[in-house]
Amino acid sequence: MAQIINFDFYTTKSNEDEKYKKKLIRIRDEIEDYLLLSSSNEDDELAVALAAGRFATMQLTKLTGEDETRSFVNDCIETTIKNKNENIN
pLDDT digits (tens, 9 = 90+) for 1-36: 455 566 665 555 677 888 999 999 999 999 999 999
Q: Are 17 and 9 in contact (CB under 8 A)?
A: yes
What DSSP string describes 9-74?
A: -TTS-HHHHHHHHHHHHHHHHHHHHHHHHHHHHHT-HHHHHHHHHHHHHHHHHHHH-HHHHHHHHH
Mean pLDDT of the chain: 88
Domain ranges for the chain: 14-88
Q: What pTM was computed for the model? A: 0.71
Per-residue confidence (pLDDT) for residue 16, from 0 to 100:
82
The span from the CA of 51 to the CA of 47, in Å, is 6
SS3 4: coil
